[in-house]
């Protein structure tokens, strides 16, 4: 069973989720605002975070952004009453692992929690720690990256996309496959999320992003990575 941190300012909902998660055998802690949520990550050391977006002090987006910038790779599931596609895309691009819109079924949320935890438990590891990819030296264990000018900031999802490419070097990978294996979506409503991550990675890896030598577009099929 897992340690789950709920960051939710609606007391009734937070307590209801806590009861349901504890019934499933999980250990649960609650934080009622963004600042408290960040502190709880370090004091409680959760295996997974349920993170509301509309929070006092710091929004869920800000909490996620701060955690990922500090290389905290704990899986995050966003909760939000905002169900527009742009909100979901933003949440996922900040490094969240899933996004569920209120109102929702508790059973569906528990199923998604279990799916995220399974993905993390089964996540393949690379055979070596450091990879030299273009102008970038990436460490997939410490989630650090650098080039000749010093530290390079990669989001957690950019590390995951890059690691998936490394593990599947030379093979054509479709956008839907990346969404499924990195984000956990079989049919996410747009492939823009993948394309945005590829564009950002090329700027950090390629000497000339307009003439890539490592991440190639295979038109009509997806992408292919060559180390």
Backbone φ and ψ of 73, nearest 5°: -100, 15
Mean residue pLDDT of the chain comes to 86
Q: What percent of the chain stands above pLDDT 70?
A: 93
SS3 at position 78: strand
SS (H, E, C) 40-65: HHHHHCCCEEEEECCCCCCCHHHHHH
- The pLDDT tens digits of the residues spanning 116-144 come to 888 777 655 555 567 888 899 998 878 88
Q: How much is the average pLDDT of 89-104?
A: 84
| Cα–Cα distance, 149 to 99 (Å, whole number) | 36
Q: How much is the average pLDDT of 37-61?
A: 93
Q: Which two tokens stand for residue 198?
A: 């590829």
Measure Cα distances from 54 to 8, 35, 47, 58, 168 in Å.
8, 13, 22, 8, 38
Q: Does 35 score more than 60 pLDDT?
A: yes
Closest by CA to 178, choosing from 99, 92, 60, is 92
pLDDT value at residue 187? 45
91 versus 215: which is more confidently predicted?
A: 215
DSSP characters over 84-126: -HHHHHHHHHTT-SEEEESS--HHHHHHHHHHHHHHHHHPPPP
Percentage helix, strand, coil for the chain under 3-state DSSP, each rounded to 5: 40, 20, 35
Local confidence band at 89 (pLDDT 50, 70, 90 cut-offs) = confident
Q: Does 67 score more than 50 pLDDT?
A: yes
DSSP label of 182: I
Q: How much is the average pLDDT of 26-51?
A: 95
| Cα–Cα distance, 161 to 106 (Å, whole number) | 30
Q: Does 10 score more than 60 pLDDT?
A: yes
Mean pLDDT is lowest, of 1-15, 63-77, 195-209, for: 63-77
Q: Does 76 score more than 90 pLDDT?
A: yes
pLDDT value at residue 50? 96
Check if the beta carbon of residue 179 is closer than 8 Å to that of residue 198.
no
Local confidence band at 189 (pLDDT 50, 70, 90 cut-offs) = very low
Q: What percent of the chain stands above pLDDT 90?
A: 43
- Taken in order of first residue, the domains within the chain and their CATH numbers are 3-122 (3.40.50.2300), 130-225 (1.10.10.10)
- The pLDDT tens digits of the residues spanning 146-175 come to 988 888 888 888 888 998 898 888 899 988
């Amino acid at each position: 069973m897992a340690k789950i941190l709920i960051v939710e300012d609606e007391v009734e909902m937070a307590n209801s989720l806590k009861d349901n998660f504890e019934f499933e055998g999980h250990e649960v802690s609650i934080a009622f605002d963004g600042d408290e949520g960040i502190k709880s990550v370090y004091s409680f050391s959760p295996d997974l975070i349920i993170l509301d977006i509309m929070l006092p002090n710091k929004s869920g987006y800000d909490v996620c952004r701060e955690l990922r910038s500090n290389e905290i790779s704990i899986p995050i599931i966003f909760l939000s009453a905002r169900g527009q596609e742009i909100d979901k895309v933003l949440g996922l691009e900040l490094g969240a692992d899933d996004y569920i819109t209120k109102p929702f079924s508790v059973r569906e949320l528990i199923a998604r929690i279990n799916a995220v935890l399974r993905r993390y438990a089964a996540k393949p590891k690379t055979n070596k720690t450091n990879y030299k990819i273009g102008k970038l030296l990436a460490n997939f264990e410490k989630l650090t990256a650098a080039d000749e000018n010093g530290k390079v900031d990669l989001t957690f999802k950019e590390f995951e996309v890059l690691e998936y490419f490394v593990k599947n070097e030379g093979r054509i990978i479709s956008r839907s496959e990346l969404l499924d294996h990195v984000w956990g979506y079989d049919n996410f409503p747009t492939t823009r999320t993948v394309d945005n991550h590829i564009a950002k990675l090329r700027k950090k890896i390629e000497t000339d992003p307009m003439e890539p030598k490592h991440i190639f577009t295979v038109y009509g099929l997806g992408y292919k990575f060559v180390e």
